């Protein structure tokens, strides 16, 4: 779903826009090798969802795509590889400029 661009915001990502609030800096992270815009202070999960990236890992049993369920550190369905370290919970990890996120390799 494409959202209407409003004054003071900028269109980014895959149809969604993120506007940094005053005091929050716009940054870029890399997700599976491609640049994704983010806002300083937001979680990795929020940045991924804003970019339309919902499948974060594969199920251990059948290899089906899995996505975040709780958004608060309970379900562990949001595990991604953060800067080469596997098993990071995207919902509990704050974005950092230039951060490298891998979604499918866990």
Which residues are at the interface with ligand FES (CB under 6 A)?
A: 68-71, 73-78, 89, 91
Q: How far is the CB of 6 from ligand FES (least distance, A)?
A: 29
| Between 55 and 70, CB nearer to ligand FES | 70
Spell out the SS3 assignment of the chain: CCCCCCCCCCECCCCCECCCCCCCCEEEEEECCEEEEEECCCEHHHHHHHCCCCCCEECCCCCCEECCCCCCCCCCCCEEEECCEEEEEHHHCECCCCCEEECCCC
Q: How far is the CB of 23 from ligand FES (least distance, A)?
A: 26
| Between 73 and 105, CB nearer to ligand FES | 73
| Between 51 and 68, CB nearer to ligand FES | 68
Q: How far is the CB of 5 from ligand FES (least distance, A)?
A: 29
Q: How far is the CB of 45 from ligand FES (least distance, A)?
A: 6
Please state, in angstroms and rounded to a whole number, the distance separating the CA atoms of residues 51 and 27. Answer: 13
Backbone angles phi, psi at 101, to 5 degrees: -115, 130
| Between 2 and 85, CB nearer to ligand FES | 85
């Amino acid at each position: 779903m494409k959202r209407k661009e409003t004054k003071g915001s900028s269109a980014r990502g895959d149809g969604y826009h993120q506007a940094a609030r005053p005091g929050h800096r716009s940054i870029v992270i890399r997700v599976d090798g491609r640049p994704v815009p983010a806002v300083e202070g937001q979680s990795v999960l929020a940045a991924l969802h804003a970019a339309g990236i919902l499948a974060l890992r594969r199920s251990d049993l059948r290899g089906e795509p899995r996505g975040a369920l709780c958004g608060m550190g309970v379900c562990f369905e949001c595990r991604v590889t953060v800067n080469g370290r596997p098993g990071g919970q995207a919902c509990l990890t704050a974005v950092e400029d230039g951060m490298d996120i891998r979604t499918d390799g866990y």
